[in-house]
A and B are shown apart, each in its own frame.
Chain A
Amino acid sequence: MAGEIKLKGFGVKDMLYFSGKPAEREKFIQNTPAKPLTEQYETNRKASERHPVKQRFVIKDIIDRGQDVKSFVFESLENRLPSFFRAGQYVVVRQIIDGKLIARPISISSGPEDALNGKMEITVKRNPNGYMSGWILDHWKKGDEVVTSGPQGTFYYEKYRDCRNVAAVCGGSGITPVLSMAKAIASGDEDFELTILYGSRTRKDILFEADFKKIMERTKKVKLISVLSDEKLSGYEQGFVGADLIRKYMGQKEFSLFASGPQGMYRFLDQEVEKLGLDEKHYRKEIFGASHEPWKEAGYPADARNRYFHVTVKMCDRTYDIEADSNETLLVAFERAGVAGPNRCRGGICGYCRSKLLSGEVFIPEDTDGRRQADKAYGYIHPCASFPVSDLVLEVPNNK
């Protein structure tokens, strides 16, 4: 039908207008000054402040919290402030140990306001089965330089998603992101009612008790209830944090439940949450971490346990042949061999370690399978939450 219609009121002038367009554009370009181009706009500058690839710090102070726990106070190098963050977020600490690059997500225990004063604090507890935590506690000293990622993670309060009343159930060093939330409430950077049910074995295992006391003097929105499992003491609840205790302190109010602690605590809490009748919207967990005992997970191929598999890792134009212990995640195998790709959450969720499985089979516990739909269909895996159950060939992103 092209050209079939006769347009009224359009003519030669319109055609000339059309033909003149490229010349008009050329003229506009030529009449513009050739001044040097802007290299970075304000939006981009602020975005890179907020989401830096790396942050370089120096350790300004080390605070012994007892019980094999230390806090490290960082000050930034390079004339910039630590990135402002959402209380509850973590940074990935990158550390070269025995010539191998190891990385771990560690929660920020300071409040966001401190970042504006040039400081950021993380807190590390020794994990007897771990590698990095012990190394940090034994080696880091004042004046050392530390490299971390920008703030990461989504375990934070969101005004238009969560209830104004939050019950935070914490165990052990899982208290640190919630401590940061409490500080943020005190400084006015967050605004919600936070009731913390903090489980410890005995009173001396309670971390940051004095800090919480100070925060509660500053704001009525934060309330700490310490729950001791192995000790009876007045002013403290006794037992484990379960449905009854949560109900006791939250009453009839509608609330969101935030949980941060060891895997055992989440398993226990999952059942208690059912008793409370909370739906998924009202129940948020800090990253669970990879399974420590994959052979106990549903669907694990029994004969794969306690074995070593041969893994070929392709990274850009390099190829590495390594061994992988079937009882550990592939990411740990990469780290042991000094060929780790990028990684952040180490719990299967964030997807930063996403790699292509070219051949072989892995076991991925369902709880920690945070893969995208297309990745499942096209054979991509998250090595931080995948266990080898055969020899493998993988393509892993570069890590520089």
Chain B
Amino acid sequence: MKQYDVIVIGSGTGGLSAALTLAQAGKKILLIEQHNLPGGCSTSFVRGRFEFDATLHEFCGIGEEGNWGDTGKLLMDQYRLPIKWYAIPDMFRVIGRARSGKHYDVRMPVGVENCIRKMEETVPGSEKPMRTFFALAEECSQAANYFYQHMDQVDSKGNIKTSKLYFMKHFPNFLKVAERPYNEVLRRIGMPEDAIDILGTYWAYMALGGDKISFVQMAFMFYSYCKDKPAICEYNAHGLAVTGIERLRELGADVWLNVRGEKVVSDKDGNIQGVQTSAGFVSANYVIANMNPQTAYTSLLDKNIRIPEREIKKANASIHSSRFLNVYLGLNKSIEELGIQDYAIFFPREINSPLNFEESCHFEGNYFGAAVIYNVARPDISPEGTTFMVLTIEYNAEVWDKFSQREYVSKKQEAFKGILDAFEQETGIVIHDCIEEMEIATPWTFAHFLNTPQGSVYGYQYTEWDTMLSRLMMMRKDQPIKGFKTCGASGARGDGYSQTYFNGNDMANLILEEMEGR
């Protein structure tokens, strides 16, 4: 029987990242994955002559060779993954009516100055508040970096210790705006109302409207996309996962695919002894599970491992965040033939993030749609003369639970028809007659492949009480079980490719500290 230092259960981005950090620290790692493929969400599938990327729309914070952004630094400099990146030419195009009733069709360019100019052109009077907005975003970004570098001290309440004086001196605005709602801050810095609506376009990535999401979260993301450009990679998300696995092999880790982690096994005092897997028992004293804590607490940990009451309360208090209907389309026309110029198109009808969020809590009347057309950034992603695109509907409540097995397919088709019609009407681009291959993934599909509660993909929803900063402050307290951590979208840094890579890295660092008895 083999003895490992750490067993990582699940090879989604969080698990993969944790395994990479630990293997680089010289630990003997076993990574197990329940599927025959690594990656979790970071995967792809083949239909006819198309390979469909399952979930990667755009990476945040990559930057470019010689000037990596935060995520770029982690993947390229720290993990040394040989990934080829493709920058996406614009941030987004958004089409719809603002709350004022005025109709907009805006293509937002990358680059701070371009973005300011575009907003002033679109909504006159925006320039000055846009400059303030970016200055605040930059300060938030620096404050966040300072915070990340000082996460190893804990105060008497178990929260991460930060020097208030340092923050007051260096990041005074951050302290004033960070946790205030995004739209409120925009309004208080004099942003015109229509510009506020347009600046809320990315709400779907945070799964909370601009009236509730903390300023720091939306501003930081908007700024990162604007400054570092959104990016996708060669060989898509599956390639990203494979690259990570190959790097792990180089570092001496073992990777077992199609193996389920069934139980984390402990001795009578709850000290972890190993993992019972579908391929037998494997010993290790430390385990990281790339899963929602609720799943771990209800099915993974054996009875001797004491789960603190606060963890049960926390899991009950938390809300499962976004889940999706994704339509993958292989079209037998090129983007030139179709007249497509934009990589990411949002067509919410109403550009109004609080309303969009409210609508996303229902099956009917959920009109917020997003389209990603991969060929715009990567012309060779599908055969010549074809296009690969994804249409997405976001749901922020468990609305797919009510359908029967028999009506399931017709509900998929109904939802697809709704978003297809909206896309064609809003953009004027006709695609319904050139669909060569298609697949529709619903919350059931995600529940099946990811085994996440309700098929959610974004982990726990941010709420006014459960903000990213307060989660980060409590990151240690939120992982109280000795020798066991969970990582993934439910982690402190939230959902998304870049965030889950960081979260896996955070959890690996906590395990390293425990191993070294710190």
Contacts and interface: CB of A to CB of B under 8 A. Distances in A.
A309 interface: no
Contacts of A351: 36-37, 45-46
Nearest to B439: A154
A83 B403 CA distance: 15
B405 A50 contact: yes
B455 to A, nearest CB: 5
Interface residues of B, number: 101
Contacts of A30: 310, 313
Given A50-B444, A354-B37, A398-B278, A10 B177 contact: yes
Given A14-B176, A32-B313, A280-B436, A159 B299 contact: no
Contact of A37 (B188, B298, B436): B298
A102 B169 CA distance: 70
B143 A50 contact: no
Contacts of A10: 173, 176-177, 188
Contact of B453 (A36, A38, A49, A399): A38
Interface in B236-266: 236, 238-239, 242-243, 246, 254, 256-259
B37 A160 contact: no
Given A2-B142, A279-B332, A398-B258, A26 B474 contact: yes
12 contacts: A3-B171, A7-B132, A19-B164, A22-B157, A30-B310, A41-B398, A43-B455, A46-B408, A47-B448, A374-B236, A397-B257, A399-B258
Interface string A24-61: 11101110111111110111101111110000000000
Given A24-B470, A317-B2, A281 B258 contact: no
B434 interface: yes
Contacts of A5: 132, 135-136, 173
B309 interface: yes
A5 B439 CA distance: 50
Interface in B310-330: 310, 312-317, 323
B179 A18 contact: yes
Main secondary structure of the interface of A (DSSP, over half): loop
B413 A159 contact: yes
Interface of B: 2, 36-37, 44-49, 51, 132, 135-136, 138-139, 142-143, 157, 159, 164, 168-180, 188-189, 235-236, 238-239, 242-243, 246, 254, 256-259, 278-280, 294, 297-299, 309-310, 312-317, 323, 332, 398, 400-403, 405-406, 408-409, 413, 416-417, 420, 432, 434-439, 443-445, 447-448, 451, 453-455, 465-467, 469-471, 473-474
Interface of A: 1-5, 7, 9-11, 14-15, 17-19, 21-22, 24-26, 28-30, 32-39, 41-44, 46-51, 83-84, 86, 112, 116, 154, 158-161, 189, 279-281, 316-317, 341-342, 349, 351-354, 370-375, 377-378, 380, 397-400
Contacts of B242: 374-375, 378, 380
Given A10-B177, A15-B175, A84-B406, A44 B453 contact: yes
